[in-house]
């Protein structure tokens, strides 16, 4: 190098320096590349952290949701099971058959269709053949529709029976031939593995109790309660009379008259009940109406049971059920309700105005000789006349009781066998009477509570249970 | 004349490092040092810092991962349960309660016992389900008497029945007079009755309330 010329030396030095600089620049370039890569990775990780934090923030709500859903899982599995459980399904059909009274004649499983739609459920189809009355059939399908497992009735057909004279009947109803296509389902969804363990599960479940219940209601499938026969006629039976069959009972016209008679009677009783409830009806009238209503109901109830068997014409049965039997039952319930309400009244006694009315009516009726009416009037309210002596109505109650005593005594006296055959009137002494073949003088006792008080030409005065009564000849 | 240079070799003019070379060497040394220094700063400073940042975020992420796994497992559970609920609701929509329909039909035919308005009965019923078209109910029916207004009354009552709202179409009132001498009265009007219900699939296409979704989704 010592022999190098200056030029050579300069070139070597500058070249060496340039080389080092280039190497350093290359190194820096390389390092920058790595830094950028690292920064990119850091950025990615930060994004991943942000995403993770978003997910973590969702955990409380997710836990809540899973708890709610998990708590209702039993309900889902009941409605839409994972497995086919077809033995249980067939057993269910047998149980419903027994409950409804239908007679199953065949159960055929349809070939499962290849499910290309990737549905989350697979349908299993059955065809069920049976004989049943309309009401049995309806009960059967209603039981199926209300079953906990989801079952759908897709197709059905009823071929009406009752075309001939001697058709099969059950409980008096015509038997039809029924074919039914049933569809049930299993869940196809893949289970998401085992259940995740949620910390503090019990406490969270307790807190979410209401929400769990609400969500359970949301998944309930629609159901319907079949109303039953209710006196309706079978719509698959020709309701017209058969001319080729002799019937012992009344004709349709007579049956219509019978129904009309009962409908009128029920209306009368209903009107009595309405009048009884009117605010302007006096309590005395209320009692009289209630008594009449009870008697009417009792009489009608007995007759209804007898006459019901005479109704053979199907179209009238519904009217009978709706306009006679049901209203009678309602009336009976309402009358019982009235009786239940009665003890709650604050004043157990008859109001003063009613008592005054009672006394006046009894007085009038006794004066007119309507002794039975007076007696019944008192007895219909007797349980509300026991007012204490301190009550201002006491005197009225006593007066009413006195009139009742008079009426009862007079009725008993009237009913006594007293055949007056002759009288002997002695102006200066004791007169006598020939009665039932025996003679009695004034002051003689005929029996323990019957005394001959006074004998006159036209009439004999008796004292009966402390009351003076006259028997005319 | 012979000249003899008595100066030591390194002080001799001809052997001294020329100032240009010296300046160049000095400048080169500075430049090279600066370059190496820059490289050092970048390599050991920036790159090191980036590496430590990466390690830091990796550690944070690893910590979060455990909770994310828990989240994903919960989400999988939720999807499974929700899927089943949705499926139940889907198939429930496709079902029609035939016991309800039959009860309503019996009410129409019985007409509260009013036989003056119409007295009708059926020879049978066939219900066929079609997912696209909807269920079709075919019922050959009869109305007592030859009074056409009774047939019209019956059709009017059918149109007023609760199930009428779910009907897509109903056959028109037509009849054929039939005489059955065995029956009293013998005359009746036989008529075909077809009820076409709306398709549950079409119903489902309408916007309906979604099943309750979890909050924060």
Same domain, B20 and B85: yes
Judgement on whether residues B72 and B131 belong to the same structural domain of the protein:
no
Identify which of A42, A53, A141 has the shortest CB distance to residue B54.
A42
Decide the pairing of beta strands B124-128 and B136-144: antiparallel
**A273-289 core/surface letters (b: 16 or more CB in 10 A; e: else):** beebeeeeeebbebbbb
- Tell if the CB–CB gap between A227 and B144 is shorter than 8 Å: no
Q: How far is B160 from chain A (nearest CA, A)?
A: 18
Highest average pLDDT, of A193-197, A314-318, A365-369, comes from A365-369
Q: Give which of B29, B91, B187, B200 to mutate to test A binding, by max A Cβ within 10 Å.
A: B91
Any idea which of A212-216, B80-84, B90-94 has the lowest mean pLDDT?
Answer: B90-94
Q: Report the sign of the C-alpha dihedral through residues B41, B45, B46, B51, in that order.
A: positive
pLDDT reading at A245 higher than 80: no
Compute the average pLDDT of residues A275-292: 78
Distance CA A382, CA A379 (A): 5
Please answer yes or no on whether A9 and B109 come within 8 Å at the CB atom.
Answer: no
Range of the domain at B192: 98-203
* Residues from chain A contacting residue B70 (CB–CB below 8 Å): 59, 196
Nearest CA in chain A to B128: A155
Report how many domains make up chain B. Answer: 2
Asked if residues A153 and B98 have their Cβ atoms less than 8 Å apart, the reply is yes
Closest in A2, A150, A243 to B183, CB measured: A243
β-pairing, B136-144 vs B120-122, is antiparallel
Range ranked top by mean pLDDT from A135-144, A260-269, A431-440? A135-144
Nearest residue in B to A140, CA atom? B99
Q: Taking the CB of residue A247, how many other CB atoms lie within 10 A of it?
A: 11
Q: Pick the residue of A2, A69, A99 with the most B CBs within 10 A to test the interface with B by mutation.
A: A69
Number of Cβ atoms within 10 Å of the Cβ of A312: 16
CA distance B145 to chain A (A): 10
The verdict on B147 and B132 lying in the same domain is yes
Question: How many angstroms separate the Cα of A286 from the Cα of each of A49, A276, A354, A358, B53?
Answer: 85, 5, 11, 13, 97
pLDDT score of A53: 93
Query: Is residue B14's pLDDT more than 50?
Result: yes
Instruction: Out of B93, B110, B125, pick the residue that ends a domain.
Output: B93
pLDDT attached to residue B47: 92
The predicted structure's pLDDT at residue B128: 94
Same domain, B139 and B185: yes
The residues that bridge with B144 in the sheet, in sequence order, are B188
- pLDDT at residue A429, as a whole number: 85
Give the model confidence (pLDDT) of A91-147 as tens digits: 899 999 999 999 999 999 886 655 555 567 788 899 999 999 999 999 999 999 998
- Between A2 and A278, the higher pLDDT residue: A278
Question: Rounded CA gap, B158 and A316, in Å?
Answer: 21
B216·A196 Cβ contact <8 A: no
Please check whether residue B1 lies inside any domain of the structure: no
Q: For B64, name the nearest residue in chain A, comparing CA atoms only.
A: A52
Judged by CB atoms closer than 8 Å, whether chains meet at B24 and A45 is answered as no
Last residue of a domain, one of B36, B69, B93: B93
The full 3-state SS of chain A, as one line of letters, equals: CCCCCHHHHHHHHHHHHHHHHHHHHHHHHHHHHHHHHHHHHHHHHHHHHHHHHHHHHHHHHHHHHHHHHHHCHHHHHHHCCCCCCHHHHHHHHHHHHHHHCCEEEEEEECCCCCCCCCCCEEEEEEEEEEEECHHHHHHHHHHHHCCCCCEEEEEEEEECCCCCCCCCEECCEECEEEEEEEEEEEECCCCCCCCCCCCCHHHHHHHCHHHHHHHHHHCCCCCCCCCCCCCCCCCCCCCCEECCCCCCCCCHHHHHHHHHHHHHHHHHHHHHHHHHHCCCCCHHHHHHHHHHHHHHHHHHHHHHHHHHCCCCCHHHHHHHHHHHHHHHHHHHHHHHHHHHHHHHCCCCCCCHHHHHHHHHHHHHHHHCCCHHHHHHHHHHCHHHCCCCCCCCCHHHHHHHHHHHHHHHHHHHHHHCCCCEEEEECCCCCCCEEEECCEEEECCCEEECCEEEEEECCCEEEEEECCEEEEEEC
Nearest chain A residue (CA) to B30: A17
Strand partners, B189: B143, B177
Closest alpha carbon to A97 in A147, A140, A39, A161 = A140
Mutation site, B80, B107, B126, B187, interface A, largest A CB count within 10 A: B80
| Same domain (yes/no): B86, B116 | no
Which of A73-77, A338-342, B35-39 is the least confident region?
Answer: A338-342
Regarding whether B84 and B174 lie in a shared domain, the answer is no
- Tell me if B168 sits within 8 A of B197, measured CB to CB: yes
Question: Residue B35 is nearest to which of A6, A21, A56, comparing CB atoms?
Answer: A21
- Contacts B72 to A, Cβ<8 Å: 55
> Would you call A193 and B75 a contact, using CB atoms and an 8 Å cutoff?
no
Best mutation target among B76, B87, B130 (most A Cβ atoms within 10 Å) is: B87
Band of pLDDT at residue B214, cut at 50, 70 and 90: very low
Is residue A81 scored above 50 in pLDDT? yes
**pLDDT tens digits, one per residue of A385-421:** 888 888 888 889 999 999 998 899 888 888 888 888 8
Predicted pLDDT at B216: 37
Verify that B71 and B152 share a domain, yes or no.
no
Q: What angle do CA A450, A451, A457 make, to 5 degrees?
A: 120
Average pLDDT over residues A79-84: 77
Q: Distance, in angstroms, between A373 CA and closest chain B CA?
A: 42
**Domain shared by B137 and B82, yes or no:** no
- Looking at residues B148-152, what average pLDDT do you find? 94
* pLDDT tens per residue across span A307-347: 888 887 777 877 888 888 888 888 888 887 776 655 545 67
| Residues above pLDDT 90, as percent of chain A | 26
Structural domain A417-473, CATH architecture: Roll (2.30)
| Chain B residue nearest residue A149, CA to CA | B88
Backbone phi, psi, residue A456, to 5°: -120, 175
C-beta separation of A100 from A144 below 8 A: no
- Domain map of chain A by residue range? 78-188+201-218, 252-339, 346-415, 417-473
Question: Does B216 contact A58 at a Cβ distance shorter than 8 Å?
Answer: yes
d(C-alpha B74, C-alpha A193), whole Å: 10
User: Looking at the domain assignment, is residue B208 inside a domain?
Assistant: no
Do B89 and B136 have their domain in common?
A: no
Range in A64-78, A184-198, A199-213, B177-191 the model is least confident about: A184-198
- CATH number, span A78-188+201-218: 3.30.70.60
Average pLDDT, chain A: 85
Determine whether the interchain pair B78/A38 forms a contact, defined as Cβ–Cβ distance below 8 Å: no
Interatomic CA distance for residues B154 and B175, integer angstroms: 12
The band of B213, judged by pLDDT with boundaries at 50, 70 and 90, is: very low
Q: Of the candidates B93, B122, B144, which is a domain's last residue?
A: B93
Domain shared by B103 and B48, yes or no: no
CB pairs A-B closer than 8 Å:
295
> Which H or E run contains B203?
helix B200-205
- Res. B210 pLDDT band, cuts 50 70 90: very low
Whether B86 maps to a domain, the answer reads yes
């Amino acid at each position: 190098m010592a022999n190098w010329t200056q030029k050579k030396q300069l070139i070597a030095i500058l070249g060496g320096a340039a080389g080092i600089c280039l190497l350093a620049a290359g190194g820096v370039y390389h390092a920058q590349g790595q830094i950028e890569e690292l920064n990119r990775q850091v950025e990615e990780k930060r994004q991943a952290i942000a995403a993770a934090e978003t997910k973590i923030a969702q955990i409380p709500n997710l836990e809540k949701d899973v708890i709610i859903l998990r708590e209702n899982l039993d309900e889902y599995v009941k409605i839409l099971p994972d497995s086919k459980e077809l033995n249980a399904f067939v057993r269910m059909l047998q149980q419903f058959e027994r409950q409804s009274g239908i007679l199953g004649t065949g159960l055929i499983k349809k070939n499962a269709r290849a499910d290309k739609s990737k549905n989350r459920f697979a349908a299993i189809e059955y065809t069920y053949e049976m004989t049943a009355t309309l009401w049995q059939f309806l009960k059967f399908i209603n039981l199926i529709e209300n079953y906990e497992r989801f079952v759908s009735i897709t197709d059905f057909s009823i071929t009406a029976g009752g075309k001939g004279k001697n058709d099969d009947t059950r409980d008096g109803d015509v038997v039809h031939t029924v074919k039914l296509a049933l569809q049930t389902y299993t869940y196809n969804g893949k289970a998401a593995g085992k259940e995740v363990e949620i910390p503090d599960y019990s406490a969270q479940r307790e807190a979410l109790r209401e929400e769990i219940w609400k969500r359970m209601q949301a998944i309930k499938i629609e159901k319907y309660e079949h109303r039953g026969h209710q006196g309706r006629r079978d719509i698959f039976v020709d309701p017209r009379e058969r001319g080729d069959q002799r019937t012992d009972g009344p004709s349709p016209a007579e049956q219509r008259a019978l129904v009309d008679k009962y409908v009128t009677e029920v209306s009368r009783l209903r009107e009595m009940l309405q009048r009884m409830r009117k605010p302007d009806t006096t309590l005395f009238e209320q009692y009289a109406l209630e008594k009449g209503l009870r008697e009417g109901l009792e009489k009608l109830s007995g007759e209804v049971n007898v006459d019901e068997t005479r109704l053979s014409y199907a179209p009238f049965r519904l009217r009978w059920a709706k306009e006679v039997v049901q209203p009678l039952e309602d009336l009976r319930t309402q009358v019982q309700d009235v009786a239940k309400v009665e003890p709650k009244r604050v004043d157990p006694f008859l109001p003063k105005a009613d008592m005054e009315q009672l006394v006046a009516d009894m007085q009038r009726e006794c004066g007119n000789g309507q002794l039975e009416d007076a007696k019944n009037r008192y007895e219909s309210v007797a349980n509300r006349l026991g007012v204490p002596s301190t009550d201002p109505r006491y005197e009225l109650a006593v007066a009413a009781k006195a009139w009742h005593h008079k009426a009862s005594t007079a009725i008993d006296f009237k009913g006594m066998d007293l055949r007056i055959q002759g009288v002997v009137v002695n102006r200066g002494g004791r007169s006598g009477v020939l009665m039932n073949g025996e003679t009695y003088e004034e002051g003689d006792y005929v029996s323990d509570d019957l005394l001959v008080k006074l004998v006159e030409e036209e009439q004999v005065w008796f004292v009966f249970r402390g009351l003076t009564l006259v028997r005319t000849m | 004349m012979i000249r003899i240079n008595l100066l030591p070799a390194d002080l001799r003019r001809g052997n001294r490092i020329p100032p240009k070379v010296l300046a160049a060497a000095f400048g080169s040394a500075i430049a090279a040092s600066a370059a190496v220094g820059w490289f050092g700063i970048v390599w050991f400073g920036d790159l090191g810092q980036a590496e430590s940042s990466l390690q830091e975020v990796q550690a944070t992420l690893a910590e979060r991962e455990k909770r994310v796994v828990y989240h994903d497992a919960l989400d999988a559970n939720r999807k499974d349960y929700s899927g089943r609920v949705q499926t139940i609701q889907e198939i429930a929509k496709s079902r029609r309660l035939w016991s309800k329909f039959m009860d309503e039909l019996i009410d129409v035919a019985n007409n509260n016992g009013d036989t003056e308005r119409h007295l009708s009965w059926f020879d049978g019923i066939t219900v066929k389900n079609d997912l696209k078209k909807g269920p079709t109910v075919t019922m050959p029916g009869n109305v007592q008497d030859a009074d056409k207004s009774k047939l019209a009354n019956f059709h009017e009552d059918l149109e007023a029945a609760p199930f009428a709202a779910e009907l897509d179409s109903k056959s028109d009132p037509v009849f054929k007079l039939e005489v059955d001498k065995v029956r009293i009265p013998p005359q009746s009007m036989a008529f075909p009755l077809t009820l076409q219900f709306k398709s549950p699939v079409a119903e489902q296409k309408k916007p309906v309330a979604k099943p309750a979704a979890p909050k924060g989704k």
